[in-house]
Amino acid sequence: MAIPEVEITRFDNRGAPGYTAEACRKLGLCGEAAPFFMDKTGGLMQTIERECPPPRRRFFLLRSPTRDILQFLLLIAALVWLLLLGASRSGYKWEWYRVPRYILGVVEGRLTAGPLLQGLGLTLKISGISLVLAFAIGLLTALLRLSDSLVGRAVARAYLEVIRNTPMLVQLFVIYFILGPILGIERFLSAVLALSLFEGAYASEVFRAGIVSIDKGQWQACYSLGLSVTDTYRFVILPQAIRRILPPLTSQAVSLIKDSSLVSMVSLTDLTLQAGIVVSETFLPFEIWFTTAAMYLVVTVTLSTVVNRMERRFRIAG
């Protein structure tokens, strides 16, 4: 049956007043989505609509950004004012010009890393190794907790409870002062071990959540195709789970980098310890600690940004 194209300007006969073209537009029933209406004689009609207007853009085009910029500047000004006030109250004399040499210095005519940059190097080294280990431990623990093995589940559970219910600093001391001499582990290794064990416990919960979030149908399909449990994890479950847990894994990595500052407690000259040393040499606590915080910030923000990009690239198509 051909449908007469009539622009509806009257009510339909279903007793619903207001189904005029205007109402259709308001209800978003434009174009192809428009339903067929019966007119009073019982004939079918389809609404024909003029093109819908483009969607309204909020904020960016309709509102001038001046207000946002102004707010931002005000916020910065307030922070700076607070800082300067604090400094002047305590009679602090800013000496920013003395800071750069502690980051990059010229020794015997050659550009060399200052103590802060050296410290950052160690921080990155410890964090990098610990990160790999922590994720490996985390994945293993998650798989153990989800396995059929009673012993495996018990071991994983015990590890999680111990790690999550004691302070990391205490764990570091236990490993460094007690396990270190017994097992002959030196300083650097103790720190890496403590950090990976600590973060691994949290990472395992993230992995577990990611794995159990994958639809059971995926397991069933793999089972019926004859795939082994290992292959199912490797080719089907983990690739999907890891895409899903990238954001919480990243924040776990950021935590790890921040928590790595605790290794200064066993006299590893990481960024934090180096900063402390520089402060005690120069009496520039404000400048040095701000610089140190900024250096941590650069590392963590860079990491987050890179992972964010990756996440967008690996997003499942469709």
Partner 1 sequence: MAEKTLGDYIITVKEVCKTFPGGITAVRNFSTDIRRSEVLVIMGPSGSGKSTLLRCLNGLEERDSGQIVVDGIPLDENKRNRLEIRKEVGMVFQSFNLFPHLTVAENVNLAQQRVRRKSREEAMAMTRDMLAKVGILNKIDAYPAQLSGGQQQRVAIARALAMMPKVMLFDEPTSALDPEMIGEVLDVMKNLAREGMTMVVVTHEMGFAREVSDWVIFMDEGQIVETGTAEHFFTAPQEERTKLFLSQIL
Binding site for partner 1 (CB under 8 A): 215, 217-218, 220-228, 231, 235-236, 239-240, 243, 316-318
Helix ranges (DSSP H) in 90-186: 100-103, 115-145, 150-164, 168-173, 180-183
C-beta of 245: minimal distance to partner 1 in Å? 14
Residues forming a β-bridge with 113 = 104
Q: Which is nearer to partner 1, 166 or 220 (CB)?
A: 220
C-beta of 226: minimal distance to partner 1 in Å? 4
Q: Which is nearer to partner 1, 166 or 228 (CB)?
A: 228
C-beta of 233: minimal distance to partner 1 in Å? 12
C-beta of 210: minimal distance to partner 1 in Å? 13
Identity of the amino acid at 94? W
C-beta of 307: minimal distance to partner 1 in Å? 18
Q: Which is nearer to partner 1, 179 or 229 (CB)?
A: 229
Taking the C-alpha atoms of residue 156 and residue 71, their distance in angstroms, rounded to an integer, is: 50
Helix (H, G, I), strand (E, B) or coil at 207: helix
Q: Quickly tell me which residue has 């922070």 as its tokens.
A: 79
Q: Which is nearer to partner 1, 90 or 230 (CB)?
A: 230
Q: How far is C-alpha 125 from the chain's CA centre? A: 21
CB atoms within 10 A of CB 191: 27
Q: Which is nearer to partner 1, 13 or 228 (CB)?
A: 228
On whether the CB atoms of residues 44 and 1 are closer than 8 A, the answer is yes
H or E element in which residue 304 lies: helix 285-314
